[in-house]
Amino acid sequence: MDTGHWTKFEAYSVTVSAHIPHGIKYSFTLHDKKNQRLVGFDNAHAIKPKRKKYGARKVTWDHKHHCEKVMPYEFESAGQL
């Protein structure tokens, strides 16, 4: 981009599994001109959401990186992603 920002898009069809029930392994990221990731969506590793009192924790693989924060992301469809 003119500002020096750049994007990376990777998506692969994989065998459906408990970790990847939709069968798509993906990584979409936006980087600044210093190669620092600003925002990213991927399912490369599991994350554990913050523990809720008395509630079960769902380990999810679909998540969003926003600078240093990692948050669960609800995968709906490849088109929505």
Q: Would you state the pLDDT for residue 61?
A: 83
Q: pLDDT digit of tens for each residue in the chain (81 aa)?
A: 889 999 999 999 999 988 888 899 999 999 999 999 999 988 888 776 666 665 555 667 888 888 788 888 777 777 777
Domain that holds residue 27: 6-72
Does residue 81 belong to any structural domain of this protein? no
Q: Which two tokens stand for residue 62?
A: 């679909």
Asked if residue 65 lies in contact with residue 39, where contact means CB atoms within 8 angstroms, the answer is yes
Q: Would you state the pLDDT for residue 56?
A: 55
Asked if residue 47 lies in contact with residue 70, where contact means CB atoms within 8 angstroms, the answer is yes
Count of all residues that appear for the chain in the document: 81
63/3 Cα distance (integer angstroms): 26
Does residue 77 belong to any structural domain of this protein? no
Domain count, the chain: 1
CB atoms within 10 A of CB 25: 18
Can you give the pTM of this predicted structure? 0.73
